[in-house]
């Protein structure tokens, strides 16, 4: 099996329109906002950092992360792999990349994310990467997960 190189890159004029076309599979829309909705939120709340996810030089997804408040609570808030690219392990590789760069960018050792309870696929992915449910919900009722750098060899 050929090794696929996955990395993230800031949005700019070369990739923004391509990223805006990233869509989830039918039935997954209930679990996450569209890329356009995420970009609108990032335009309103400048703490969010939207990025394109690349695999072997082509856009395959979108992610958004940010750090908030005096405690620098840092979140990987959105990760979307295009419907045509799902099932190839790219989401896991993208998460590993984010788990490497985001703590370094903000000088933190803890990351948070949240998911809709019914999103079992995402839960399995995040738990396989060392995120643990902390028995709390965000204001939207989503389950909050926490990861600490160093716990899983990252």
Distance between CA atoms of residues 97 and 154, nearest Å: 10
Beta-carbon count within 10 A of 18 CB: 15
Catalytic positions: 126
Distance between CA atoms of residues 131 and 129, nearest Å: 6
Distance between CA atoms of residues 61 and 19, nearest Å: 7
Distance between CA atoms of residues 79 and 140, nearest Å: 17
CATH of domain 6-148: 3.40.630.30
Check residue 13 and give its pLDDT. Answer: 94
Distance between CA atoms of residues 45 and 3, nearest Å: 36
List, run by run, the mean pLDDT of 10-residue segments along the chain (154 residues): 85 92 76 83 92 94 89 88 88 94 94 91 92 93 91 51
Distance between CA atoms of residues 33 and 115, nearest Å: 12
Distance between CA atoms of residues 106 and 73, nearest Å: 10
Check residue 154 and give its pLDDT. Answer: 47
111 touches 97 (CB < 8 A) = no
Average pLDDT, the chain: 88
Check residue 1 and give its pLDDT. Answer: 57
Check residue 18 and give its pLDDT. Answer: 92
Distance between CA atoms of residues 37 and 15, nearest Å: 17
pTM across the whole model: 0.89
Burial class (CB in 10 A: 0-12, 13-18, 19+), 122: buried
Check residue 112 and give its pLDDT. Answer: 95
Q: Which helix (H) or strand (E) holds 135?
A: strand 132-137
Indicate the SS3 state at residue 43: helix
Check residue 151 and give its pLDDT. Answer: 58
């Amino acid at each position: 099996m050929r090794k696929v190189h996955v990395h993230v890159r800031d949005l700019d004029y070369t990739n923004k329109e391509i990223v805006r076309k990233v869509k989830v599979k039918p039935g997954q829309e209930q679990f996450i906002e569209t890329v356009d909705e995420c970009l609108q939120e990032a335009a309103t709340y400048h703490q969010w950092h939207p990025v394109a996810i690349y695999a072997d030089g082509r856009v395959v997804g979108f992610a958004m992360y940010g750090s908030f408040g005096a405690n620098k609570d840092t979140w990987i808030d959105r990760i979307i792999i295009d419907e045509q690219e799902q099932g190839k392990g790219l989401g896991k590789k993208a998460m590993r990349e984010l788990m490497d760069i985001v703590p370094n960018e903000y000088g933190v050792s803890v990351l948070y994310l949240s998911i809709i309870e019914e999103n079992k696929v995402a839960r399995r992915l995040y738990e396989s990467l060392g995120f643990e449910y902390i028995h709390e919900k965000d204001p939207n009722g989503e389950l909050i997960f926490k990861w600490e750098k160093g716990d899983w060899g990252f």
